[in-house]
């Protein structure tokens, strides 16, 4: 659901990956720090001599299914060749050296006499065609700039399909104005590329992008993204991009888990970049936006280049001092070593439940506070969090999750109460909440769960298994949370009104059977990821827009839809501008796409008409969206009163008073954080103008 930590997939991946790691095509050396050996690319600076690395420079042209527009990096080749990647310049007080060579000298300054030089490269352009499900284009109406968002795995695979094994060479591939998502899932976004050793060919490589004339929302420039991945490559040349969570058994350098950002308690990662995103510790955004970081500017070849400030090797080791600085080229970018992060249990153990849930006052109105409940424990040794103890501010409670039964045919789901809660206790709690006027539904699926219903013969198993859960516990309906890669549209499925993807068609039929079985009071809600609804505006296919057929096929019996505005990449709004998540503008723009409708894929054809406001809620994530952002976004959407710092202007100046309300993942986390969301947003919703 919210975290997108695909532990199940990761465990499967570990079983599939060979235990003998590819060695790569570039020389490496090792240094022992803190009792552990770390591998670096190139020539050991402490050893006299120079290692020259042959390079194959690959500018990539991207084409997009259904669009004539191309994103070509060929025009950027000259700038890249003149940049500090290949031309020696003075960086961080050093003598003129290339970026990678200077990085090694900054890491190991004592007695540094050896050098690593990237040879003037051979250039081999290629073209990669991006299917609808693997990427899309964004545009800014204000400056006419375009930006691509594509699947890094897909690009890497096609890159090495076209480029044969290159003994002894480093492949430096780059796109133009492109950001990447990982794990073949656009909600795991965004990164400037990847690096390491390709698992299919054994080639050492760097995949990045060059930025020129980009939309204003993109703050990094020219070779900064490419130098970010190059710097990480030198620091971790054995990295395998399949490992989104670096472990001690995985190839490459492993570090004690480090904290991302001064104010962030969570783990950035245990490799040289954050999990999934490969963001540097100097990056200022952690999730779902274009990577951003203050740059180091240097002039070379008559042009000002922006270089990435990267963490030096010993920054990660917290106390193992190799040099007096922690970052390169700007020695002040990181002023102190990494701090250890706390895992979830440690964080919970440091907190105390000092706040109380506010009672719900007044008769309320049509606006609802909707939340997912998992029943997790507050800390080590604590009692499980029962439904009866949920704050009275919550109006609709979605129990998470009924998930696919691995021991049954496809489509069959099962549900077990959270550990420590007996079935009879849960049934009693559900009955209690319903007697208080609350709605309690069962959510099906969840992040990391793969659901498929590819055969019509599997519909009865789906219906009977879900009906059994509903009847046993007294749930009032189902919430559909089948995330990517579940329900991805098949190639050629281009009409949301007449879907052909079996799993989608059969799910619609199954949900209609459930509604018929339980009657008109049976509730159905959908909680798509950003790629699965607003993503359909940019491109239609695969994961993008995959919930549009569900909305259309269930529109007459659908209770509400709440888009996860936190599991979502950058998107275009109806005003022709690009917006990133975790902002009032983003929530307003993405919600209006669902309310006003759009042409899927941005092309004339069947218009998706959107939904009435009384069937739409806005999805937020605790500890990602602040209560202040949630408050401002909901007030703007409901009343139309535009915040002073907002840029997106609603097409309905009066706002949408009939909007159902706000959804959160999760009720449990809200409780852990002292009810700072429910205590603020609940009363605000209750006092907001009702439908008029």
Catalytic residue IDs:
483
Q: Are β-strands 303-308 and 295-300 bridged in parallel, bridged antiparallel, or unpaired?
A: antiparallel
Q: Helix 423-435 and helix 459-473: axis angle, to 10°? A: 70
Contact assessment for residue 24 and residue 251, using Cβ atoms and an 8 Å cutoff: no
Q: Which two tokens stand for residue 609?
A: 């008409």
Q: Torsion-angle region of residue 22: left (phi > 0), alpha (psi -120 to 50) or beta?
A: beta
DSSP state for residue 78 in the 8-state scheme = H
Give the contacts of 538 (CB within 8 A, at least 6 positions apart). Answer: 136, 137, 138, 149, 544, 571, 572, 601, 602
Using a 10 angstrom Cβ sphere, with 0-12 exposed, 13-18 middle and 19 or more buried, the burial of residue 356 is: exposed
Using DSSP's 3-state secondary structure scheme, residue 49 falls into strand
- Distance between start and end Cα atoms, the chain: 34
Q: Are 544 and 501 in contact (CB under 8 A)?
A: no
C-alpha closest to that of 375 among 359, 397, 357: 397
DSSP element (H, E) containing 661:
strand 661-665
Beta pairing, strands 523-526 & 560-564 = parallel
Q: Is 387 left (phi over 0), alpha (psi -120 to 50) or beta?
A: alpha
The Cα 103–Cα 596 span in angstroms is: 51
CA–CA dist 629, 636 (Å, integer): 11
Which residues, in sequence order, are CB contacts of 61 under 8 Å at separation 6+?
A: 70, 71, 72, 73, 74, 125, 126, 127, 128
Sign (positive or negative) of CA dihedral 484, 138, 148, 231: negative
> What is the CA 441 to chain-centroid distance, rounded?
27
Which segments of 212-293 are extended strands (E)?
258-259, 267-269
Q: Return phi, psi of residue 609, to 5°.
A: -80, -5
The rounded distance, in Å, linking the Cα atoms of 659 and 613 is 5
Of 670, 556, 560, 672, the closest CA to residue 616 belongs to: 560
Query: Which residue pairs, CB below 8 angstroms and at least 24 apart, start in 160-164?
Result: 160/198, 160/200, 160/201, 160/203, 160/205, 162/126, 162/128, 163/56, 163/58, 163/124, 163/126, 163/201, 163/203, 164/201
Judge whether 528 and 551 are in contact, CB under 8 Å: no
How many Å apart are CA 328 and CA 308, to the nearest integer? 8
């Amino acid at each position: 659901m919210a975290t997108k930590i695909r532990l199940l997939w990761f465990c499967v991946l570990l079983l599939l990956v060979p235990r003998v790691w590819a060695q790569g095509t570039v020389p490496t050396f090792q240094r022992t720090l803190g009792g552990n050996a770390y591998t670096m690319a190139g020539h050991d600076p402490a050893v006299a001599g120079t290692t020259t690395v042959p390079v194959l420079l690959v500018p990539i042209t991207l084409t997009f299914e259904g669009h004539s527009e191309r994103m070509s990096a060929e025009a950027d080749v000259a700038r890249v060749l003149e940049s500090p990647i290949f031309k020696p310049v003075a960086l961080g007080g050093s003598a003129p050296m290339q970026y990678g060579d200077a990085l090694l000298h900054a890491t190991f300054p004592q007695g540094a006499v050896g050098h690593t030089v990237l040879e003037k490269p051979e250039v081999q352009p290629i073209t990669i065609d991006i299917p609808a499900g693997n990427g899309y284009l964004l545009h800014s109406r204000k400056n006419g700039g375009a930006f691509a968002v594509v699947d890094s795995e897909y690009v890497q695979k096609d890159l090495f399909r076209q480029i044969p094994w290159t003994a002894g060479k480093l492949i430096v591939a780059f796109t133009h104005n492109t950001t990447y998502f990982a794990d073949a899932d656009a909600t795991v976004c965004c990164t400037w590329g990847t690096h390491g050793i390709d698992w299919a060919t054994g080639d050492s490589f760097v995949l990045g992008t060059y930025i020129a004339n980009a939309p204003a929302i993109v703050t990094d420039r020219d070779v900064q993204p490419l130098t970010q991945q190059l710097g990480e490559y030198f620091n971790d040349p054995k990295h395998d991009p399949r490992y989104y969570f670096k472990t001690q058994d995985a190839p490459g350098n492993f570090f004690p888990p480090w904290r991302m950002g001064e104010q962030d308690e969570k783990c950035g990662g245990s490799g040289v970049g954050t999990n999934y995103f490969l963001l540097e510790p100097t990056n200022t955004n952690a999730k779902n936006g274009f990577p951003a970081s203050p740059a180091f500017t240097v002039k070379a070849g008559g042009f000002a280049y922006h270089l990435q400030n990267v963490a030096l090797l010993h920054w990660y080791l917290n106390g193992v001092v190799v040099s007096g600085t922690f970052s390169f080229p700007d020695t002040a970018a990181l002023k102190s070593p990494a701090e250890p992060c706390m895992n979830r249990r440690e964080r919970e153990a440091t907190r105390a439940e000092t706040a109380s849930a506010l009672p719900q006052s007044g008769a309320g109105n049509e606006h609802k506070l909707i939340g997912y409940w998992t029943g997790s424990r507050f800390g080590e040794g604590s009692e499980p969090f029962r439904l009866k103890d949920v704050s009275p501010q919550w109006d609709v409670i979605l129990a998470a999750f009924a998930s696919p039964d691995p021991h049954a045919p496809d489509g069959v789901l099962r549900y077990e109460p959270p550990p420590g809660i007996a079935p009879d206790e849960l049934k009693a709690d559900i009955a209690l909440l319903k007697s208080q006027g609350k709605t309690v539904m069962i959510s099906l699926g969840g992040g990391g769960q793969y659901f498929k219903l590819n055969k019509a013969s599997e519909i009865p198993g789906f219906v009977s298994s879900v009906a059994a859960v509903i009847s046993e516990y007294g749930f009032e309906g189902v919430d559909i949370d089948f995330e990517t890669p579940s329900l991805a549209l098949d190639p050629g499925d281009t009409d949301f009104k007449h879907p052909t993807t079996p799993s989608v068609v059969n799910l619609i039929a199954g949900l209609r059977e459930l509604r018929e079985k339980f009657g008109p009071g049976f509730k159905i809600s959908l909680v798509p990821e950003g790629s699965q609804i607003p993503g359909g505006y940019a491109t239609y296919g695969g994961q993008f827009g995959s919930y549009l057929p569900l909305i259309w096929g269930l529109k007459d019996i659908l209770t509400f839809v709440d888009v996860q505005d936190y599991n979502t990449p950058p998107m275009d709004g109806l005003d022709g501008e690009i917006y990133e998540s975790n902002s009032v503008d983003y929530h307003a723009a993405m919600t209006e796409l669902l309310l006003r409708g759009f042409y899927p894929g941005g092309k004339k054809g069947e218009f998706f008409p959107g939904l009435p406001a009384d069937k739409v809620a806005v999805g937020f994530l605790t500890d990602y969206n602040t209560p202040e952002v949630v408050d401002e976004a909901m007030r703007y959407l409901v009343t139309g009163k535009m915040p002073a710092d907002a840029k997106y202007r609603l097409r309905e100046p009066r706002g949408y008073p009939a909007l159902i309300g706000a959804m959160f993942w999760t009720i449990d986390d809200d409780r852990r954080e002292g009810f700072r969301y429910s205590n603020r947003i609940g009363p605000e919703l209750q006092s907001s103008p009702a439908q008029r």
